[in-house]
Structure 1
Amino acid sequence: MAIKAILWDCDGVLQHPAHDWDDALSRLGGAEFTAALFEAEHAALRGERSLRDVVADLVDLHPVAVSVEDVLALWSLFEADEPAWQVVDDARAAGVRCVLATNQQDIRVELMRHERKYDDRVDGAYYSSEIGHMKPSREFFEAILADLDIEAQEALFVDDVLSNIESARSLGIVAVHHDPASGAAELRREVAEHIPDLRQ
């Protein structure tokens, strides 16, 4: 069955952090604070709470010499991988719909949509906090397939996290497990196995 749409993960595929997360957060609040923050962020990633409220609660619970704004600022430190985005552009030019399928909380959605203008570069954007489910849940993928009105076998999903890949494949979605360290040339090769027009 021909691929009609590509579901693109963002972090690790189309964009990369400008810092080491564990190191940056540990310097701000220590290892305990970092672990608590990543766990608490899940509520924001599912759209149940604002990330600002999540961080404010944690700063109150864990005495740290940083402000809420100091912590939130870390989520703005990421860089678009333009060679990877060129693969998206070329796939769209080949007639394949390209959509974002990414775990993001409200702060990141605002940045990616309005500051970085990512939504303008694709045919749709599915952010976990707006869907109400986050990868690797089946509900995340099911919501996207239903909205796109396509069969699972007509979707190609690209992600760097193996648990997300396994969940997508369990639904019948074609999936590519991309190693961020392999670069955009390898990303093109991986996607071109399913979209021949991308071969160079």
Structure 2
Amino acid sequence: MKAITFDWGGVFTQNTFDGRSTGRIAERYNLDVEKVRAVYFAHVHQLELGKWTLETFFENLMQEVGFTAPLEEIIELYLGSVYENPPMYDFLPTIPAEFKVGLLSNNYPVLSDRLKADPRWARFDAMVYSNEIGFKKPSPESFHALVEATGVPAQDSVFIDDVEENLVAARALGFSTILYHYAEHDRFLKELEAWMNR
């Protein structure tokens, strides 16, 4: 048994979720986008590690940036900032049954629940989210959790991510890796096919 494992942001989405969401928040409330991003990125690890709820995170953001907005509105604006990568969603259900399929994502409360509830994700055998395990990539603990969830050793697994730092960490633990960019989907398919046929 081999495992094909994926990141979420930048693989199943186009570009980064964080950059788009902070830009939309700044535009909606007429804010300095650089200030919004400075506060956002100073504290987003609290979401990724499951230490803060979305409500706590955005209450803090509004306080530090200096604006007010309905909490439900800003959260929906945030969650609505996901731009999907259709070719990857088309590819996912075509993965042959003899391969386990796993996900390892630095993710956030509520958003991870929405992803798990998406029927298109039924092909995943295992989904590991940083906000649920308390560790985020590129920590070794996060990759160990992925191996445990899939039940497949790293040496028999490939990890696909859009961030080289995460791939370096995965390779150090024995994973094969593929760097992904949504504009180079065909290259990814060729690289993955070569690994699957080893």
**Equivalent runs, 1:1-200 vs 2, <5 Å:** 4-16=2-14, 20-21=20-21, 23-27=23-27, 28=29, 29-30=31-32, 31-72=34-75, 73-91=77-95, 93-114=96-117, 116-182=118-184, 184-196=185-197
SS of aligned partner of 1:125: strand
> Structure 1 residue 84: deviation in Å?
1.4
What is the CA–CA distance in structure 1 between the aligned matches of 2:43 and 2:130, rounded to whole Å? Answer: 15
Moved more, 171-180 or 156-165: 171-180
Indicate the percent of aligned positions where both proteins have the same amino acid: 22
What is the CA–CA distance in structure 2 between the aligned matches of 1:22 and 1:57, rounded to whole Å? Answer: 14
Moved more, 147-156 or 103-112: 147-156
One-letter code aligned to 1:82: P
Consecutive unaligned residues in structure 2, runs of 5 or more: none
SS of aligned partner of 1:158: strand
The root-mean-square deviation of aligned C-alpha atoms, in Å, is: 2.3
Moved more, 51-60 or 27-36: 27-36
One-letter code aligned to 1:123: D
- With the length of structure 2 as denominator, give the TM-score of the two structures: 0.85
SS of aligned partner of 2:158: strand
> Structure 1 residue 75: deviation in Å?
2.6
Residues 1:90 and 1:40: Cα distance change in structure 2 (over 3 Å): same
SS of aligned partner of 2:104: strand
Q: Could you tell me whether the CA contact under 8 Å between 1:104 and 1:127 is conserved in 2?
A: yes
What is the CA–CA distance in structure 1 between the aligned matches of 2:151 and 2:80, rounded to whole Å? Answer: 33
Moved more, 126-135 or 147-156: 147-156
- With the length of structure 1 as denominator, give the TM-score of the two structures: 0.84
Provide runs of 4+ in structure 1 moved above 6 Å.
none
Residues 1:190 and 1:68: Cα distance change in structure 2 (over 3 Å): farther
What is the CA–CA distance in structure 1 between the aligned matches of 2:58 and 2:119, rounded to whole Å? Answer: 25
SS of aligned partner of 1:194: helix
What is the CA–CA distance in structure 1 between the aligned matches of 2:4 and 2:81, rounded to whole Å? Answer: 26
